Structures are given as C-alpha cells and as structure tokens.
C-alpha cells in the first residue's frame, strides 16, 4: 500500500497576484472547485492508500488543516520552520513513514500540480510500486507534448510510446536540466525523453539510505531535527535550530542524478506544474476563441487570452494573447508569452516593502478570515468571518479601540469581566486597552464588521493573553 506524500511548501510567485506567500497557489481553486492541494488527494480516490503525509511551511499549517477537513481527509502534517527544497522535505516524510513501516512505499506528489487524466496515474501505480519495493527510486516521467524549456527531462532506453504501452519501469539513461529551445524540440522529435514531473515512488528506508550516502549533511540535519520532534495540536513540529542548519537541495540534485538505483515509469496524463499563467491557460477550458475565463468577465473580439476576475467586473475589447488577473487590491496585465517574468515583479514589490507581494486583502486565520474593506487616517474597516466553534485569542490593543457590528450569526463576546452574546444587527465597543475575545458558539458562520480607530492600526498591535491555537 502506498503512502501519499504531499509536498505543500511552494510559494508560487509566478501566479501573482492570485498566489502570494501567505496564500500560495496550492491552496487556490485554479482549475475547478477544489484547490490544487485538495485535487491532488481527490485524484487518488478509489485507490488503496495509507494515511497521507503532508509537508508544509508552519505559516500555512491552519490552511492545510482546514482544506483537509473540507474534503474529509485526515493526515500527518509535518511543519517545516523554513522551506529547504524537496530533498529534506521528502526525508521528513520518510522518517515519519519509518515510524509505521520502514519498508513502506511513499508516493511523492507536489501539492500544486494539475493532472487532467487521473486514470492514467492509477494505471502506473502498480508497476511504480513494484519497482520501488525492489529497491529502486522511481520517477514518474510525463510524455511531453511541447518543446517546453521550463522542465527537466529524463532520457530512457527506447521510445516513449512503447514504454507507455508496456506500462513498466524503465532504466534511466540520464537526467537533463532545463534545455534550450532547440534541444527541447529535438527531444520531442526523438521520442526518448520524458518531462521530470517531480512525482516519485520509493521505499522510505531506501531513500534515507541514498540520502545518507550522497548528501550526509542533509541526512544528519533532518534526522537531528526529527529527533527533536514534538506534537502541537494536530501538527508535527521538528526542532527548529537543527532543521535550519540543513542545506537546501532538490531530490534530483541530492539523490536522483547521483545514484544508479533509479528507474522511471512513463505517464501520459495531461500533466502541468501550473508554474505560470501561460501554463494555467494551457490547462484551463477554452471558449471557441481560445479564451480561458473565470469570474465576472465581459469580452468582445478577444482571442487566446486568460482573464480572471476575483472581486469585480473585468471587461476586455479587441485584444489577443493577454493575461488579465484582477484581485481586490491588484491587477496584472501581461503578454501571455511573458508570464514567466511575473516573478520579477514580485521581487520588486518585496524590495519596495509593499504588502501586495506577500498577502491578500483577505487574510486567513485558524478561526476564519478577515478582509480589510477600507483604511484611512486613524481608522480601518474590516469584514470578519468566524467559523463555528472558532475563537480569537484573548487579547488587548495598546493603540486602537474597536467597534463590532454583527451582520449574521451569533457572537460570544468577552469584554473585561463581562461575557455576553450578540446577534444580528447588535453591536458593542471595545475600548483601547480592554481585554477582549470574540467567539462563534453557533452552527453557522459569524459575520461582522469591525471599525478600528486609533493612532496605530498594524496587526502587530495584539498582545495575546491566551490562544487556543498556540500561536506565538
């Protein structure tokens, strides 16, 4: 039985402004109603799988937990203090698997990729697991349909069509890093090269053996961090200082390109890493003019474009080959062929200290979310949503007072020594310095408007006195 391992630590900056550091692409419903993370698990439906393992950054832990809860999946969630690329992340999963069964097989899956044909993946799981149980580290290689220069390639012995028809593991002749256009075109013509998808099967003990041989610095740091593991609510936390001493490297550089115990199983499944707006446009459904549209969009004489609206009407007239993405606080307009360069824009935003490069106007918290509606000199208006049983920390502010108006649902309010309920159209006032807490004791979402006023309105003006979610 395979153990799914979801690598959910990516930042997805090439899909800005939709994907940002605080809420990256794996948590976004880019190609359907489910997020990419949820879809990664859902495509395994009907297959005999062990309890999944999810490796993510600690700042995203509550997003992961909530999205798993929404689809009814329980998993071991391992938190990385900081991302160190795929080699250490997979090592953490292998150490977790070793607690259950050291010879158990991992099915490593990036949580932010897209697969058009899950049945094609199902068809290769048995040969991939068989090869992994024999001691091989097995890559799932995707049959290329274009001369893509943004992916690594895997060369096999023989032609891809025969290998796909045979549905069996093949020896890897060599790994090729991202090629230039001419080389990529030759690879597609020759029919012996697969895209390196970042999906793997391997025994947990075999991966740790290979990592120990080829990258002892990573192995030693990760195992030391694992030895300091402690459980925090529903999460597994490794020891921070030891993990931060771990070198950052991918599984490809650290292990796969060095060992001779590797194989590949070819896969033809309509795969994409959704690594840019161009890649998303290619994977999305198109209208008869080649447009991929989402949200409140009105077009006339538009061709071969991706237009995404999050919060308002977007109208386009007489354009071709564009990316237009609207969110509540930012709009991107780009030539579709230049969409890889979006990462540079995000770097500029960060250099300027602008929050649009890091967070959305809607910010998710373990109890729900808040969205800033308006901000002016000495005041700010927020929309707050608290899930059933959600409760904010017991806290106080040193620089602001707050007015709360309940829009729907029921609020339990702690204010100083008082504790009382508020329902729709009722309100209360929290003076500056007053200890307070907001909770939702009901069975539906609590929605309310908060008006803040004071000399400083930053999120760091929160002194937490008690927190159910153990945040620092």
Q: Would you say residue 355 lies in a domain?
A: no
**The two three-digit tokens of residue 191, written as one number:** 């029919």
Long-range contacts of 213-221, Cβ-Cβ distance < 8 Å, separation of 24 or more? 213/259, 214/254, 214/255, 214/258, 214/259, 215/87, 215/247, 215/249, 215/254, 215/255, 217/246, 217/247, 218/87, 218/88, 218/91, 218/246, 218/247, 218/249, 218/254, 219/91, 221/88, 221/245, 221/246, 221/247
Cα–Cα dist 417/89, whole Å: 46
36 token code pair: 């990419």
Same domain? For 126 and 155 the reply is: yes
Do 211 and 316 lie in one domain? The reply is: no
Residues 292 and 374 in one domain: no
Q: How many helices (H) and strands (E) does the chain have?
A: 12, 30
**Residue range 252-307, pLDDT digits in tens:** 999 999 999 999 999 998 899 999 999 999 999 999 999 999 999 999 999 999 99
85-101 burial, b at 16+ Cβ within 10 Å, e below that, comes to: bbbbbbbbbbbbbeeee
**Residue labelled with tokens 């702690």:** 414
Position 150 confidence tier, pLDDT thresholds 50, 70, 90:
confident
Q: Return the pLDDT at 12.
A: 81
Does 71 share its domain with 148? yes
In sequence order, which residues have a C-beta less than 8 Å from that of residue 171 and are 6 or more positions away? 156, 157, 262, 263, 264
- Give the pLDDT score at 315: 98
Give tens-digit pLDDT for 20-33.
999 999 999 999 99
**Does the residue 137 lie in any domain?**
yes
- Does residue 350 belong to any structural domain of this protein? no
Question: Does 356 fall in a domain?
Answer: no
415 and 307 in a common domain: no
Mean pLDDT of 87-107: 96
Q: Are strands 53-57 and 2-7 parallel, antiparallel or unpaired?
A: parallel
Q: Whole-angstrom Cα distance, residue 205 to residue 91?
A: 10
**Contact 40/107 with Cβ under 8 angstroms?**
no
In whole angstroms, how large is the CA radius of gyration of the chain? 24
Same domain (yes/no): 310, 370:
no
Length of the chain: 472
Residue 269: per-residue pLDDT: 86
- Comparing 339-353, 401-415, 434-448, the range with the smallest average pLDDT is 339-353
Q: How far apart are CA 54 and CA 96, in angstroms?
A: 10
Helix (H) or strand (E) holding 55: strand 53-57
How many structural domains compose the chain? 3
Q: Is the pLDDT of residue 159 over 90?
A: no
Tokens of 62: 């509550």
Cα separations in angstroms, 84 against 58, 107, 249:
13, 20, 7
User: Which domain, by its residues, includes 326?
Assistant: 277-344
CATH code of the domain covering residue 34: 3.90.550.10
> Is residue 349, in this structure, part of any structural domain at all?
no
Give the residue among 333, 308, 330 at the shortest CA–CA distance from 319: 333
Final residue of a domain: which of 272, 288, 320? Answer: 272
Q: Which two tokens stand for residue 253?
A: 């550089």
The answer as to whether 28 is a domain residue is: yes
Say yes or no: 133 and 47 in one domain: yes
Residues 264 and 288 grouped into a single domain = no
Tokens of 381: 């208006």
Angular region, 244: left φ>0, alpha ψ -120 to 50, beta rest:
alpha
Do 266 and 226 lie in one domain? The reply is: yes
State yes or no: pLDDT of 354 exceeds 80.
yes
Residue 139 structure tokens: 């890559």
Mean pLDDT across the stretch 399-414? 98
**Does residue 194 belong to any structural domain of this protein?**
yes
Would you say residue 147 lies in a domain? yes
Q: How far is CA 103 from the centre of its chain?
A: 28
Look up the pTM and report it.
0.92
Q: Do 79 and 65 reside in the same domain of the chain?
A: yes
Place of tokens 């308006």: 374
From 244, 272, 300, the end of a domain falls on 272
Given 242, 272, 302, which residue is the final one in a domain? 272
The answer to whether residues 228 and 366 belong to one domain is no
**203 near 97, Cβ under 8 Å?**
no
Domain at 377, CATH number? 2.60.120.10
Average pLDDT over residues 433-455: 97
Helix axes 86-100, 216-227, angle to 10 degrees: 50
Q: Are residues 335 and 411 in the same domain?
A: no
Q: What was the pLDDT predicted at 158?
A: 83
């Amino acid at each position: 039985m395979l153990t799914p391992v979801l690598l959910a630590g990516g930042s997805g900056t090439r899909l800005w402004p939709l994907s940002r550091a605080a809420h990256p692409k794996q948590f976004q419903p880019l190609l359907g109603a489910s997020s990419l993370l949820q879809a990664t698990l859902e495509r395994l439906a009907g297959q005999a799988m062990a309890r999944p393992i999810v490796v993510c950054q600690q700042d995203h832990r509550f997003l992961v937990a909530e999205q798993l809860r929404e689809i009814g999946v329980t998993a071991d969630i391992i938190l990385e203090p900081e991302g160190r690329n795929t080699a250490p992340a997979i090592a953490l999963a292998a150490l977790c698997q070793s607690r259950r069964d050291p010879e158990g097989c991992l099915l490593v899956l990036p949580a932010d990729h897209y697969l058009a044909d899950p049945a094609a993946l199902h068809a290769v799981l048995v040969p991939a697991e068989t090869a992994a149980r024999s001691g091989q580290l097995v890559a799932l290689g995707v049959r290329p349909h274009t001369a893509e220069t943004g992916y690594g390639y895997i060369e096999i012995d023989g032609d891809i069509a025969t290998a796909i028809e045979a549905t069996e593991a093949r020896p890897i002749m060599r790994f090729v890093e991202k090629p230039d256009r001419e080389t990529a075109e030759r690879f597609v013509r020759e029919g012996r090269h697969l895209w390196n998808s970042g999906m793997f099967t391997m025994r947990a003990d075999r991966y740790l053996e290979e990592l120990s041989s080829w990258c002892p610095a990573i192995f030693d740091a990760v195992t030391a961090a694992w030895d300091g593991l402690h459980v925090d609510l529903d999460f597994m936390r490794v020891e921070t200082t030891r993990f931060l001493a771990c070198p950052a490297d991918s599984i490809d550089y650290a292990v796969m390109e060095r060992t001779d115990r590797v194989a590949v199983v070819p896969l033809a499944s309509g795969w994409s890493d959704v690594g840019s707006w161009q890649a998303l446009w290619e994977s999305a459904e198109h209208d008869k003019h080649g447009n991929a549209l989402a949200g409140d969009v009105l077009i006339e004489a538009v061709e071969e474009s991706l237009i995404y609206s999050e919060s308002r009407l977007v109208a386009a007239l007489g354009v071709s080959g564009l990316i237009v993405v609207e969110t509540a606080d930012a709009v991107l307009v780009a030539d579709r062929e230049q969409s890889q360069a979006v990462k540079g824009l995000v770097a500029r935003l960060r250099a300027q200290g602008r929050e649009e490069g890091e967070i959305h106007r809607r910010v998710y918290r373990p109890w729900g979310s808040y969205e800033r509606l308006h901000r002016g000199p000495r005041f700010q208006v927020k929309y707050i949503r608290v899930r059933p049983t959600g409760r904010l920390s017991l806290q106080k502010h040193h620089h602001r007072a707050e007015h709360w108006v309940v829009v729907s649902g029921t609020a339990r309010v702690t204010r100083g020594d008082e504790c009382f309920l508020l329902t729709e159209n009722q309100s209360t006032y929290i003076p500056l310095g007053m200890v307070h807490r907001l909770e939702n004791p009901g069975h539906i979402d609590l929605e309310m408007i908060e008006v803040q006023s004071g000399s400083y309105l930053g999120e760091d003006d929160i002194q937490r006195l008690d927190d159910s979610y153990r945040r620092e």
